[in-house]
Amino acid sequence: MTSTQRIAFLKGHGTENDFVIVPDPDGRLDLSATAVARICDRRAGVGGDGLLHVVRSAAHPDARAMADEAEWFMDYRNGDGSIAEMCGNGLRVFARYLLHAELVEAGDVAIATRTGVLRVHLAKTGDVTVAMGRAALPEDGVVVEVDGRSWPARNVNMGNPHAVAFVEDLAHAGELRAQPQFSPAAVYPHGVNIEFVVDRGPRHVAMRVHERGSGETRSCGTGACAVAVATARRDGLDPAVTGTPVTYTVDVLGGSLTLTELPDGTVEMTGPAVIVAEGTFEPEWLAGALAS
């Protein structure tokens, strides 16, 4: 890229988990962690919880092997520039962008991610449904602690790591300006996303989340999946045993998501995905960010 080129970006969100979308079909941009953090900076950059780098699978080393199955790769980055395996809200927004840019047609779309190829059902408008794969729930005796209170937490892996703690009051999670303490540290060698959950009614819960690499966000799609599965097990429900799908509504600060666990153990997530704005980076500013 030369400093005179105008590079486009878009802004989007899914239940107010917001993303800078950077289309780069041929994988020409070298997005270092520092460059991503500068773009996601809410005061000195565009601002977002994370960044969705839109690249053809064939043009990215992490996705080349999936190119026959999925033309597009979601190269997701957290707001601090770190790479995460998966982002559920991001995947809905990514799919909405592909349709918006006429890169795919409405219907069923396969998208490559760092957890493999995932399938998205995309109507021309409205909510997006994503097949998020299976949750793994190893029994690890995880404990989460905030401001002197502690709770046992369920370790749930949705491609990325989660600790789900059931609390009496979401305010007990505190200000979530920093990562809550957790133990044993060895369970999460690469960090963890931590969800705090309260009951709202039958098969209906609410959560707050502290995300690895982004801080407190107003929603986390993989977190909502983890919460739905952890709540189902707490409630004595397991679709793999009963053969009956189980659906939970999970309220997040930025809206509501619907999660269904199917008898084959996979989880479907349905929720909004909104493109908010389109623009171009100032070439000099972007050149500085990319060089940092």
What gap in Å lies between CA 194 and CA 196, rounded to an integer? Answer: 7
Is 261 annotated among the ligand-binding residues?
no
Is 88 annotated among the ligand-binding residues?
yes
**Nearest of 47, 51, 122, 121 to residue 87 by alpha carbon:** 51
From 40, 54, 87, 132, the catalytic residue: 87
Rank residues 57 and 214 by Cβ distance to ligand LBFN2T5F and give the closer one. Answer: 214
Rank residues 53 and 286 by Cβ distance to ligand LBFN2T5F and give the closer one. Answer: 53
Is 155 annotated among the ligand-binding residues?
no
Is 145 annotated among the ligand-binding residues?
no
Least distance in Å: CB of 171 to ligand LBFN2T5F?
Answer: 22
Q: Is 171 helix (H, G, I), strand (E, B) or coil?
A: helix
- Contact residues for ligand LBFN2T5F, defined by CB under 6 A: 17, 50, 78, 84, 87-90, 160, 193, 211-214, 217, 220-222
What gap in Å lies between CA 163 and CA 146, rounded to an integer? Answer: 13
Query: Which amino acid, residue 255?
Result: G
From 37, 220, 273, 286, the catalytic residue: 220
- Give catalytic status of residue 225 as yes or no: no
Least distance in Å: CB of 205 to ligand LBFN2T5F?
Answer: 16
Least distance in Å: CB of 256 to ligand LBFN2T5F?
Answer: 14
CB neighbour list of residue 235: distance below 8 Å, 6 or more residues apart: 203
Instruction: Name the DSSP class of 151.
Output: E
- Give catalytic status of residue 220 as yes or no: yes
**Nearest of 131, 136, 76, 138 to residue 108 by alpha carbon:** 131
Query: Which amino acid, residue 175?
Result: E
Active site residues: 87, 220
